């Protein structure tokens, strides 16, 4: 394989063969390709695209570039979920124990957050002592003991994706649909999932801004999974306003705990119930949980029963976390300053921009501007209203949790224009815009 031939072929809009793609990925991991040639190929792919077969071949080659753990001894059917991320998205913290409460073991590897807010691992690290760095033996022990585990993904999981992503980040080639879809799916396939529920967010606080973009990404990922023999379903969900109330690591853990104890914000609870019901549907393999409406009811009951909270508590204890912080969330990290923003007029909330709330959380120190930045777990923003709500002048709309005045001021600047009012009634935003079922993709 000559790299120049692949670059020219893609530059001219031709499809690469599976053998060419796997040869490229192998040579990439062996350090045999100079960055300038890899970057040129990435740009050619970004400009000319990839067809379904090429995208699947790239995903498989990246998935196979490192370890592919066999989970069959700990999970008869390995069910996984992936969210394309957003503001206040603490779904995983609720959904995993919820599925585990149905005696379906879940062994999940997660990434860290970059940008707006923390990722699932960052949120969990708001709990004192909680470790996401588990050896393979510890990973297996925690699932066996508690029915679930949530750990960081090892460097040996799809390493080709790590190399490519670092180059994409600095060459303007992140926003390429086949590259995004294959990047995400390579890590899912490598992590050993048999079935995957994708939660693809769309709106101002999401990677994908429009329904068309989100649908195209979801479809591409579902097709990759189906072609690789996985059970797939994708939900297209709203991220124009934050999910739930809290954005910020410890605040989100507290909100997840409230939800696991049968409370929590209604939109978050409904979202988690849907994702968990879809995971159970796939895990049921056409024998159990086939009727999604009944499954939603069952899931909601289990959530309200506290059984999922008990699972979460056991997993946190098994991973070294201080469960007293779950029993009494006021023991979680607390910020020194609380700043309350109130409605400046009466009317209806027409917009509560998730992106601005995300940038404010980042300004407070709750997210990572670069991979090296550290996170302040205590800070964040609570948004107490939703689009469509009627408010009176003076109602509490936002609470900012800050640890210093300078950051607080930066967050307030980021929030400028975050709330839009209307004199006329406004419709609530739909939680979901559609579903793409792998059997029909
Ligand atoms: N997340 C990933 O893992 N990869 C991408 O390319 C984009 C988002």
Kindly state whether residue 70 falls inside one of the protein's structural domains: no
Distance from Cα 14 to the centre of ligand 1, integer Å = 24
pLDDT for 371 equals 75
Nearest CA to ligand 1 atom 5: 180
Q: What is the mean pLDDT of residues 321-333?
A: 98
Q: pLDDT tier at 225 (50, 70, 90 boundaries)?
A: very high
- Spatial distance between the Cα atoms of 123 and 155, rounded to a whole number of angstroms: 20
Same domain, yes or no: 36 and 114? no
Residue to probe by mutation, ligand 1, list 180, 182, 199, most atoms within 8 Å of CB: 180
Asked if pLDDT for residue 338 goes beyond 60, the answer is yes
Same domain, yes or no: 300 and 198? yes
Kindly state whether residue 74 falls inside one of the protein's structural domains: no
Asked if pLDDT for residue 441 goes beyond 60, the answer is no
Same domain, yes or no: 254 and 175? yes
CATH classification of the domain holding 42? 1.20.970.10
Q: Taking the mean position of all CA atoms in its chain, how far away is CA 130? A: 20
Distance from Cα 348 to the centre of ligand 1, integer Å = 36
Kindly state whether residue 307 falls inside one of the protein's structural domains: yes
* Crossing angle of the two packed helices 177-190 and 52-63, in degrees rounded to 10: 40
Residue to probe by mutation, ligand 1, list 174, 188, 217, 220, most atoms within 8 Å of CB: 174
Same domain, yes or no: 142 and 17? no
The rounded mean pLDDT for the chain is: 95
Helix (H, G, I), strand (E, B) or coil at 175: coil
Q: Which helix (H) or strand (E) holds 362?
A: helix 354-364
Q: Which residues are catalytic?
A: 82, 161, 168, 183, 187
Same domain, yes or no: 350 and 368? yes
pLDDT for 440 equals 57
- Convert the pLDDT of each residue in 93-145 to its tens digit: 999 999 999 999 999 988 776 667 778 999 999 999 999 999 989 999 999 99
398 or 156: which leads in pLDDT: 398
Q: What is the mean pLDDT of residues 176-204?
A: 95
Q: pLDDT tier at 154 (50, 70, 90 boundaries)?
A: confident
Among residues 59, 312, 314, which one has the least CA distance to residue 191? 59
Nearest CA to ligand 1 atom 3: 184
- Spatial distance between the Cα atoms of 300 and 102, rounded to a whole number of angstroms: 12
Q: Which two tokens stand for residue 32?
A: 């045999």
Nearest CA to ligand 1 atom 6: 180
Nearest CA to ligand 1 atom 7: 180
Show the ligand 1 pocket: residues with CB < 6 angstroms.
165, 179-180, 183-184
Q: What is the mean pLDDT of residues 155-171?
A: 92
Q: Which two tokens stand for residue 421?
A: 């009012």
- Convert the pLDDT of each residue in 345-374 to its tens digit: 999 999 999 999 999 999 999 998 777 788
Q: What region, left, alpha or beta, does residue 415 occupy, with left being phi > 0 and alpha being psi -120 to 50 degrees?
A: alpha
DSSP 7-29: HHHHHTTPPPPHHHHHHHHHHHH
Same domain, yes or no: 355 and 320? no
Same domain, yes or no: 59 and 167? no
Torsion from C-alpha of 368, 373, 375, 379, nearest 10 degrees: -60
Same domain, yes or no: 320 and 343? no
Same domain, yes or no: 115 and 44? no
Q: What is the mean pLDDT of residues 195-207?
A: 96
| Percent of the chain whose pLDDT exceeds 90 | 90
**Cα-based distances in Å from 419 to 119, 403, 414:** 25, 23, 12
Residue to probe by mutation, ligand 1, list 153, 171, 184, 191, most atoms within 8 Å of CB: 184
Residue span of the structural domain in which 417 resides: 333-422
Distance from Cα 184 to the centre of ligand 1, integer Å = 5
Same domain, yes or no: 42 and 146? no
Asked if pLDDT for residue 171 goes beyond 80, the answer is yes
Same domain, yes or no: 295 and 204? yes
What are the backbone dihedrals phi and psi of residue 40, each rounded to the nearest 5 degrees, phi first?
-65, -40
CATH classification of the domain holding 363? 3.90.1170.30
Distance from Cα 145 to the centre of ligand 1, integer Å = 32
Tell me how many domains the chain contains.
3
- Spatial distance between the Cα atoms of 312 and 148, rounded to a whole number of angstroms: 8
Do residues 108 and 149 make contact, with C-beta atoms less than 8 angstroms apart? Answer: yes
Nearest CA to ligand 1 atom 2: 184
């Amino acid at each position: 394989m000559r790299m120049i031939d692949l670059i020219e072929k893609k530059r001219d809009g031709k499809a690469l063969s599976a053998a060419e793609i796997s040869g490229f990925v192998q040579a990439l991991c062996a350090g045999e390709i100079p960055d300038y040639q890899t970057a040129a190929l990435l740009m050619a792919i970004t400009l000319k695209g990839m067809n379904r077969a090429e995208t699947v071949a790239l995903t498989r080659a990246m998935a196979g570039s490192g370890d592919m753990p066999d989970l069959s001894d700990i999970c008869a059917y390995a069910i996984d979920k992936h969210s394309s991320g957003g503001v206040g998205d603490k779904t995983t913290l609720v959904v995993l124990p919820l599925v585990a409460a149905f005696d379906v073991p879940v062994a999940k590897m997660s990434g860290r957050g970059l940008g707006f807010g923390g990722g699932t691992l960052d949120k969990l690290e708001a709990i004192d002592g909680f470790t996401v760095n588990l050896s393979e033996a510890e990973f297996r022990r925690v699932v066996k003991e508690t029915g679930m585990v949530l750990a960081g993904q090892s460097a040996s999981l799809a390493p080709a994706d790590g190399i490519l992503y670092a180059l994409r980040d600095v060459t303007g080639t992140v926003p390429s649909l086949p590259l995004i879809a294959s990047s995400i799916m390579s890590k899912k396939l490598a992590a050993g999932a048999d079935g995957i529920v994708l939660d693809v967010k769309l709106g101002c606080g999401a990677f994908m801004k429009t329904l068309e973009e989100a649908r195209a990404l979801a479809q591409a990922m579902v097709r990759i999974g189906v072609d690789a023999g996985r059970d797939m379903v994708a939900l297209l969900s709203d991220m124009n306003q934050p999910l739930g109330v809290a954005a910020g690591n410890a605040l989100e853990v507290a909100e997840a705990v409230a939800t696991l104890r049968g409370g929590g914000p209604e939109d978050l609870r409904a979202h988690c119930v849907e994702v968990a019901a879809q995971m159970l549907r796939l895990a049921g393999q056409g024998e159990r949980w086939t009727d999604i409406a009944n499954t939603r009811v069952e899931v909601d009951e289990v959530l309200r029963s506290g059984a999922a909270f008990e699972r979460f508590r056991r997993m946190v204890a098994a991973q070294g976390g201080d469960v007293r912080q779950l029993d009494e969330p006021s023991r979680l990290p607390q910020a020194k300053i609380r700043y309350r923003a109130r409605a400046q007029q009466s009317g209806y909330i027409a917009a509560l921009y998730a992106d601005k709330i995300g940038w404010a959380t980042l300004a407070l120190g709750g997210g990572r501007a670069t991979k090296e930045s550290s996170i302040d777990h205590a800070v964040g923003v609570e948004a107490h209203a939703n689009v469509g709500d009627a408010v009176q002048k003076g109602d509490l709309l936002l609470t900012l949790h800050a640890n210093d005045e300078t950051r607080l001021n930066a967050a307030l600047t980021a929030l400028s224009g975050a709330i839009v009012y209307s004199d006329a009634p406004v419709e609530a935003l739909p939680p979901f815009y559609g579903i793409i079922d792998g059997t029909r993709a």
